[in-house]
Amino acid sequence: MKFYSNSLQSTTLNIGLIVTDFFQLTKFRLAISVVFSSLAGYLLAVDKIETNILLGLSFGGYAMVGASNAFNQLIEKNKDSLMLRTQNRPLPGGRMTNTVAITIAMFLAVIGVIILHYINYKTAIFGALSIFLYTCVYTPLKSKTSLAVFVGAFPGAIPFMLGWVAAKGSFGIEPGILFMIQFFWQFPHFWAIGWMVDEDYKKAGFKMLPTGSPDKTTAFLIVFYSFWTIVVSILPYTRYSGDLNLSIQATFALLTIGIYFLYFAFKLMQEKTKSAARKLMYASILYISFLQIIYVIDKWI
């Protein structure tokens, strides 16, 4: 009986470790935030919710991001082993083989595109384009040029507009604005992360900051892109944005959280510390999350 109990406990621990490693390989929290963005984009485009499309975006979106992250970790396995923040991932940690990882990545890529194609073919095209850009362009560029962040901002900006395309089956000014919001937002967000872990990135040879260093110019560019993120975010109030509109109350709420976001960008430019960069990173996450919530609430209430 004792032997059975120990075996059961060991099996449970192994299954738990496998699930944990899968979530690490696919970057669960990042994938969920992407799904949240795509669902928000969908809710902005429709007047009547279709459950099958919500489920398709959820599972297809997770598969799309999971595949991108799995391919990324396969390519960067050796570099991840050099950085403190990534050396315990499944591949550099030795808990998962390359064969298992590439099988998961390929399965998720295929199933993700199939699910998104079930919604409509344009959604599938954007999903496949996102995987390609992240895996084949952004990932190799990270060790060559800081322009990698610019390239990576394209697949990173697709999810918010993907929901609109899933609903409408077309691309126009409305998903274009949603794309621009998340495109500009990524620069202060990822440069804040780059500032925090600059030493770790340099161990692996990654060039993530625009000047190559956490300096005054980098801080200025963070403020610059934070400002333009806020400007683009309130464009729908002008009514020159097709079917994507904002009330004055929503615009005021966006300006409020925008000032909060911009405050931490200026604090980083003033202090130039890792602590200030960390605060900006969290502020950027709060900003994009509340922005999407405000957009959706303004649409439906």
Q: Got the DSSP string for 44-85?
A: HH-SS--HHHHHHHHHHHHHHHHHHHHHHHHHTHHHHTTSTT
pLDDT, residue 5, reads 53
The DSSP annotation for 242-299 comes to: TT----HHHHHHHHHHHHHHHHHHHHHHHH--HHHHHHHHHHHHHHHHHHHHHHHHHH
pLDDT band of 9, cuts 50, 70, 90: low
- 3-state DSSP assignment of residue 28: helix
Residue boundaries of the structural domains of the chain: 16-169, 172-301
Chain segment 170-225, per-residue pLDDT in tens: 899 999 999 999 999 999 999 999 999 999 999 999 989 999 999 999 999 999 99
Where is average pLDDT lowest: 4-13, 40-49, 180-189?
A: 4-13
Rounded to whole angstroms, the Cα distance separating 84 from 111 reads: 33
Nearest CA to 228 out of 265, 196, 192 is that of 265
Written as six digits, the tokens of 77 are 């396995």
**Over 50: is that where the pLDDT of 163 sits?**
yes
Q: What is the pLDDT of residue 7?
A: 55
Express as a percent the part of the chain with pLDDT over 70: 96
User: Quick one: pLDDT at residue 276?
Assistant: 97
Q: In the prediction, which pLDDT does 21 show?
A: 94
Predicted pLDDT at 17:
84
8-state DSSP, 88: T
User: Does residue 10 surpass a pLDDT of 80?
Assistant: no
**pLDDT-derived band of residue 148, with 50, 70 and 90 as boundaries?**
very high
pTM for the model stands at 0.91
**Type of residue numbered 134:** Y
Percentage of residues of the chain with pLDDT beyond 90: 91
pLDDT over threshold 80, residue 11: no
> Over 50: is that where the pLDDT of 286 sits?
yes
Q: What is the pLDDT of residue 267?
A: 97
Whether residue 12 has pLDDT greater than 80: no
Confidence of residue 239 (pLDDT cuts 50, 70, 90): confident
pLDDT at residue 99 greater than cutoff 70: yes
**Rounded mean pLDDT, 102-126:** 96
Homologous superfamily in CATH for domain 16-169: UbiA prenyltransferase (1.10.357.140)
**pLDDT tens, residue by residue, 251-276:** 999 999 999 999 999 999 999 999 99
In this structure, are residues 189 and 210 in contact, taking their beta carbons and an 8 Å threshold?
no
pLDDT digits (tens, 9 = 90+) for 78-96: 999 999 899 999 999 999 9
